Amino acid sequence: MRTVHVIDAGNIPRPVNVVGEAITILAGGDLTKPFEMHIQEGVQGGGPPPHFHPWDEAFFVIDGQVEVTVEGQATTVSTGGYVHIPGGSIHTYKNISATAKIIGVVSDPRGGQFFAAMDQFKVPEDLPRIFEVAERYGVTFLVPESPK
């Protein structure tokens, strides 16, 4: 049975560190089906490589500027801006201001589960583990092939 889910300001969960991004999972898993909500904070140049997953995702920028690229089309989204990304779409984002903070909403509990499983991984040393976790949660990263 679903219940009311409230987090007061004094009880915000500890953020996880996902390759340099601090991600606070505010609503996740079966507790808040059919969506999850995260606060994602990063520094200039931060963000994931191009990837896709089966769930929809949306971002609302609450501070800074973020370049969001979906299916090859880049858009700069500033404070107060919003973008919705349909499931299966190849996408990425890059923080283009000194710092950026976004609210992320996803339509599947695997989003927060993926973030929690990625806590404290580092690039490049944890890349094999990152790819294993990504596959387990339905996330596919598109990384350039290394030159031969």
pLDDT, one tens digit for every residue, the chain (148 residues): 677 888 898 999 999 999 989 999 998 776 777 889 999 999 999 999 999 999 999 999 999 999 999 999 999 999 999 999 999 999 999 999 999 999 999 988 899 999 999 999 999 999 999 999 999 999 999 977 666 6
CB contact at 8 A, 130 and 123? yes
User: CB burial class (10 A; 0-12, 13-18, 19+) of residue 100?
Assistant: buried
Separation of alpha carbons 66 and 74, rounded Å: 10
**Contact partners, residue 21, CB within 8 Å, separation at least 6:** 40, 41, 42, 46, 47
| Single pTM value for the model | 0.89
Domains of the chain, start order: 17-138 (2.60.120.10)
Residue 55 near residue 107 (C-beta atoms within 8 A): yes
